[in-house]
Amino acid sequence: VREIPEDSIGPWKPPAYEVTADGKITDAPVPAGPHNWNRWGASDQRGTLNLIDERKAAEAAALVKTGQRFSLALPIGGSIPAFGTRPAVRHLFSRSMADALVGDGFNGMESADDVVVMDLQASTQIDALSHFAAEDLLYNGYWAGAVTARSGARRLGVQHLADGFVTRGVLLDVAAGHDLDPVCGVITGELLEATATAQNAHPRPGDAVLIRTGWLAAALADEAVRLRRRSVGLAVDTLDWLADHDVAFVAVDNRAVEAIPGPPGPLLPLHIGALRDLGMPLGELFDLEDLSRSCTADGVHEFMFVAMPLPVVNAVGSPVNPVAIK
Ligand code: UVW
């Protein structure tokens, strides 16, 4: 973790680039590593979700054989805090049955209404493409200045992903075959490939790949794991593996998808490589425990995967209740 002195203001140099009316940095260099910039057009807002077309969604529906369903969401308001300093979820009632029972209801109705105050990324969630930038650039060459506190993500907002996640899902249950340390473990591309082979569950273009590291189970069982910033996760080289398989979406049962800390350099490099370069949304804090038990029992690691983010206009992420259907 980089230390920034509390009283530091500079150094700062005005940027040497220009921004178009559409919010693109003029002549932005394309990323050096695997990327999908301009693959689906210069104005694309959906990144790898473009790989999920109607045919792909229909193929996913054909995987449903028994109708067993697994919600992959943590209970909102549960005990696992998200990455960083995001506050706990606050669940308040604006009207309750008790109001009616003591004569303070509305027109005699016995009914209730409630309000949730939460960070959109406080629980099981999807990171939209506007969540991370590097060198002032977002996915497809958009300028990071398109995302402001007043207006939100004026490009690449989560609403563009609202119907996108209906596809074949594959569980790579790395934790089932390997004793990964929940604090220091690192999952490489080679280990993902070996797991896919062992489980006979190779990802295909447009798939959602769900990766079980064991972190969530360990964190639920042991507060010491929960309180550590370090965590098991994906190595940066998994970006090549994800790109080679043309995966549409990757979700992990940890807080940040990637191993923390990562290599020296910019913080959360896999976030940059996935969100900014590949245009691939990320899923965090996915609860894969029940699904893992089912896949171990029946040997089937593929299923229909459905997850609809809330179409919060110009948001950079969304809570989600993903469902695997077998
Ligand atoms: C940050 O927002 C820093 O990370 P994450 O996407 O893992 O929540």
- For residue 261, cis peptide bond before it (omega within 30 degrees of 0): yes
N residues, the chain = 326
Q: Determine how many CB atoms are found less than 10 A away from the CB of residue 312.
A: 18
The answer to whether the CB of 193 falls within 8 A of the CB of 241 is yes
Which pLDDT tens digit goes with each residue over 3-51? 677 788 888 889 999 999 999 999 999 999 999 999 999 999 999 999 9
Which candidate, 203, 167, 156, places its Cα nearest to that of 318? 156
* Spacing, Cα 149 to ligand 1 middle (Å): 17
Of all protein residues, whose CA lies closest to atom 6 belonging to ligand 1?
256
Going from the C-alpha of 30 to that of each of 26, 36, 95, 143, 280, the distances in angstroms are 11, 9, 52, 13, 16
Residue 57: phi and psi, rounded to 5, are: -65, -40
Quote the CA–CA distance of 9 and 64 in Å, as a whole number: 56
Quote the CA–CA distance of 175 and 196 in Å, as a whole number: 13
Query: Helices (H) and strands (E) in the chain — how many of each?
Result: 9, 15
Claim: this prediction has a pTM higher than 0.85: yes
Residue ranges in the chain modelled with pLDDT below 50? none
Which H or E element spans position 146? Answer: none
The answer to whether the CB of 304 falls within 8 A of the CB of 60 is yes
If DSSP codes are grouped into helix, strand and coil, which group holds residue 113? strand
Q: 121, 234, 252, 254: which to mutate for ligand 1, most atoms within 8 A of CB? A: 121
Q: 130, 255, 285: which to mutate for ligand 1, most atoms within 8 A of CB? A: 255
* Spacing, Cα 4 to ligand 1 middle (Å): 19
- Looking at residue 84, what is its pLDDT? 66
Quote the CA–CA distance of 127 and 123 in Å, as a whole number: 11
Q: Which atom of ligand 1 is nearest to the CA of 282?
A: 6
Structure tokens at 95: 């009207």
Of all protein residues, whose CA lies closest to atom 2 belonging to ligand 1?
83
Longest dimension (CA), the chain: 67
Which pLDDT tens digit goes with each residue over 257-267? 999 999 999 99
- Looking at residue 157, what is its pLDDT? 98
Q: 216, 258, 271: which to mutate for ligand 1, most atoms within 8 A of CB? A: 271
Residue 59: phi and psi, rounded to 5, are: -60, -35
If DSSP codes are grouped into helix, strand and coil, which group holds residue 153? strand
Of all protein residues, whose CA lies closest to atom 7 belonging to ligand 1?
256
Quote the CA–CA distance of 138 and 36 in Å, as a whole number: 12
* Spacing, Cα 283 to ligand 1 middle (Å): 10
Quote the CA–CA distance of 323 and 307 in Å, as a whole number: 6
Quote the CA–CA distance of 60 and 272 in Å, as a whole number: 29
Q: What is the rounded (10 degree) CA torsion for 163, 63, 243, 312?
A: 20
Q: Which atom of ligand 1 is nearest to the CA of 121?
A: 8
Q: Which residues line ligand 1 (CB under 6 A)?
A: 82-84, 121, 127, 131, 255-256, 268, 271, 284
Q: Which residue has the tokens 């990637």?
A: 258
Quote the CA–CA distance of 64 and 123 in Å, as a whole number: 27
Q: 2, 80, 129, 131: which to mutate for ligand 1, most atoms within 8 A of CB? A: 131
- Looking at residue 155, what is its pLDDT? 98
Of all protein residues, whose CA lies closest to atom 5 belonging to ligand 1?
256
Q: Which atom of ligand 1 is nearest to the CA of 84?
A: 3
